[in-house]
Structure 1
Amino acid sequence: MESREVLGTRLRLLLDLLDDGVTALYTELDLDGFRPRYTPILRHVATEGPSSIRDLARAIGVTHSAASQTVAQLAKEDLVTLSPGADARRRIVHLTPKAEALLPAMAREWEATNAAVAELEAELPYPLSRLVDETLEALRRRPMPDRTTAAAKTQSPS
């Protein structure tokens, strides 16, 4: 089986392995139950102040839907609260005192994770982060649905 045939599966495995390493560190830092997807949102709100979900999505590079889902999880964990924005359709994300108390541990996690990523990338022939950035840019230029549709049209029937 060619590696292209299992690319999605291998990417999920890679993400799982990366997330598992970070999750293990959360336990050491008394951040049990914390999820890697929480960190970018909480760090952004901690450094930039209360933000709309749209602004958070743009700042951390995810879809509005993904940011909204993560914010909903953070609210359930009592890590953020939401208030209406100037436009009733916008919701503004604020840190709770519980989240603010976690910021020092989150900073230690962030530093340790960045050091681990630098070490990992030093072992590779080229930085994984660069390859991910270049792949994302290529998909922005020509999204995967366009690519798969075009490829399906060129395939001969079996």
Structure 2
Amino acid sequence: MLAGRLLGEALMNAGYYAQSYPEFGAERSGAPVTAFLRASEAPIEVRSPINRPHFVVVIDPYISMERSVIDGLREGGLVVANTTLPPGKLKETLRPAVECKVATVNATKIALDVLGRNNPNTAILGALAEVSKIAPIDFLMEAAKKAFPGRVGELNAEAIKRGAAEVAVA
């Protein structure tokens, strides 16, 4: 949810319209959460789940191994996953039905190194921004600093920068 909100804010600052919203299952505490983000140069009037995404970002390293996370991915799409696997190996594991790029980053390690806790959201956003060029990294860093004033914001901005620097693509 946080990653979607920060990316949405960065996109709005870059001149886009953005819409971000989560989807919860029956149990919230500790259960996986799916978050959607739409961005457009024109106002967004659609208010339904996204079934054919251009990008899929998987923050949970265990879920990144499940083929179902890329269901509906568009031809030429992009998967960015928090994993220790190299992107080629993850692509073999996921066996995408369409031609796509797969990018991986060890966002958990970055979060532990930079933030001192397992909160990989901002590191994976840096990876997404670097590979997709969807939002300037500086805009993401500013969104993180705004969401988390002071030292915490600075550290999250650093995690974004490291995610961008350490992402690998296949």
Classify the TM-score, shorter chain.
under 0.3
TM-score norm. by structure 2 comes to: 0.25
Structure (1/2) with the larger strand percentage: 2
Q: Which protein, 1 or 2, shows the higher relative CO under an 8 Å CA cutoff with sep ≥ 6?
A: 2
More helix by share: 1
Highest Rg: 1 or 2? 1
TM-score, normalised to structure 1, is 0.26
